Amino acid sequence: MRPVEIKGIIPPVVTPMNKDETLNLEELRRQVRRQMEGGVHGIFCFGTNGEGYILEEEEKRRVLETVVEEVAGRLPVYAGTGCVSTRETIRQSKMAKAAGADVLSIITPGFAAASQEELYQHYKAVAAAVDLPVVLYNIPARTGNALAPATVARLAKIDNIVGAKDSSGNFQNILAYIQAGKEKENGPFAVLSGNDQLILWTLLAGGTGGIAGCANVYPHTLASVYDLFREGKIQEARAANESIQSLRECFKYGNPNTIIKTAVALLGHPVGPCRAPFCQVPEEGIAALKKVLAENAAKGMC
C-alpha cells in the first residue's frame, strides 16, 4: 500500500452532466483543472456533491478514470466507494483501485439500522479486501447510521484505516474522533471535517483538513484556509473560512449539493443540474445565489 498523507482541502468535485443527464467528461476535466489551479490538496470523486449516490457503476468507473488521468499523479485522488452491502462496497472499492484511486472514502451503510459491531465488521472486511488507505465517512443525517467514536478507535487499529471524515456537524464528535485516532499505533490517523464551517476549528484541534463542498465554488478561498493555517496566519485563515457563510445560507433553498452545483453553473461552468429528482432550486433561490456570487466576486473570492 502506497502511503498517502491525508491532509488539506479536498473538494468533492461535482460530476458535470449534459441536458440528457449523460456524463460530460470534458467539463469534468476542466473542473479538475480549475480545482488544481485553485490550490486544493486532493480531488474526491463520488462525494455527496459528486452525486455518488445516483451514479451507475459504469459511470463511476468512467468518472474516476477521467479524474485520475487528468490529475496525473499531481494530487491524491479519493474515491467514495461505500454502498449498503459489504459485498458491493468491496466490489466498488476494487473497481476504484483498478481505476487508479489513491484513497477510499467509505460512507456508513444506509437505510437499514446497523449496530456498532456490524459497522466494525463491515469496515474491517473492506479494509482486508482492498489494499488501499481507507477513510471512514460519518454522515448520519443522510445514512441514519452514526459511527461512534469508540468504533472509530477500534477501527483505527487496522493498518490501512488511516482516517475519518465527520459530516455530522457536531464539533464534539470531531474532537472525539481525534482522540479515538490516537489508538492507531502504526502511523497518523487523520480527521477531516465534512462541514465546511468547521474546517479551521478542526485544524486547530489537531485534525488535518476538510472535504469541502464549497470548494467547488471557491477552490482558492477554501484551499487558503489550510495554507494560511499552516503558515500560522490564524486570523486570515479564520476570515477565509468565515467568508463562505453567505453561500451556505443559500442551502435553505434546496438540497445543499443541488445549491452548490447550481452555483458552479451560475459562475459560467456548464456542469448541468443535478440528476433528477434532486435538481430543483426555486426562483428566489436562484436570485439569492446570484446576489451572493456577485457580492463575493467583488470581494475577490474565487
Structure confidence by residue, pLDDT tens digits, 222-279: 999 999 999 999 999 999 999 999 999 999 999 999 999 999 999 999 999 999 999 9
The closest of 262, 265, 264, 280 to 216, measured between CA atoms, is 264
Please state, rounded to an integer, the average pLDDT across all residues of the chain. Answer: 97
- Full residue range of the structural domain in which residue 214 is found: 8-233
Structure confidence by residue, pLDDT tens digits, 186-228: 889 999 999 999 999 999 999 999 999 999 999 999 999 999 9
Q: Is 80 helix (H, G, I), strand (E, B) or coil?
A: strand
Decide if 91 is inside a domain.
Answer: yes
Decide if 77 is inside a domain.
Answer: yes
Q: In what order do the strands lie in the sheet with 209-210?
A: 8-9, 209-210, 190-193, 161-166, 134-138, 103-107, 77-80, 43-45
Is-contact 241 210, C-beta < 8 A? Answer: no
Cell digits for 268? 459560467
Which residue in this structure is represented by grid cell 433561490? Answer: 285
Return the CATH number at 122: 3.20.20.70
The model's pTM is 0.96
**Looking at residue 163, what is its pLDDT?**
98
Structure confidence by residue, pLDDT tens digits, 103-137: 999 999 999 999 999 999 999 999 999 999 999 99
59 backbone φψ class: left, alpha, beta (φ>0; ψ -120 to 50):
alpha
Decide if 255 is inside a domain.
Answer: no
**Looking at residue 2, what is its pLDDT?**
76
Residue 168 has pLDDT above 90, yes or no: yes
**Looking at residue 73, what is its pLDDT?**
96
Decide if 246 is inside a domain.
Answer: no
Decide if 257 is inside a domain.
Answer: no
Confidence of residue 60 (pLDDT cuts 50, 70, 90): very high
Cell digits for 282? 426555486
**Looking at residue 186, what is its pLDDT?**
87
Residue 1 has pLDDT above 90, yes or no: no
Half-sphere exposure of 108 (CA within 13 A, CB side): 29
Decide if 301 is inside a domain.
Answer: no
**Is the dihedral angle over the CA atoms 4, 61, 302, 222 positive or is it negative?**
negative
For residues 223 and 40, give the distance between their C-alpha atoms in angstroms, rounded to a whole number: 5
**Looking at residue 198, what is its pLDDT?**
97
The count of domains in the chain is 1
For residues 10 and 38, give the distance between their C-alpha atoms in angstroms, rounded to a whole number: 11
Decide if 244 is inside a domain.
Answer: no
Q: Is 276 helix (H, G, I), strand (E, B) or coil?
A: coil
Q: Is 76 helix (H, G, I), strand (E, B) or coil?
A: coil
Active site residues: 137, 165
Decide if 140 is inside a domain.
Answer: yes
Q: Where are the beta strands (DSSP E) in the chain?
A: 8-9, 43-45, 77-80, 103-107, 134-138, 161-166, 190-193, 209-210
For residues 66 and 87, give the distance between their C-alpha atoms in angstroms, rounded to a whole number: 25
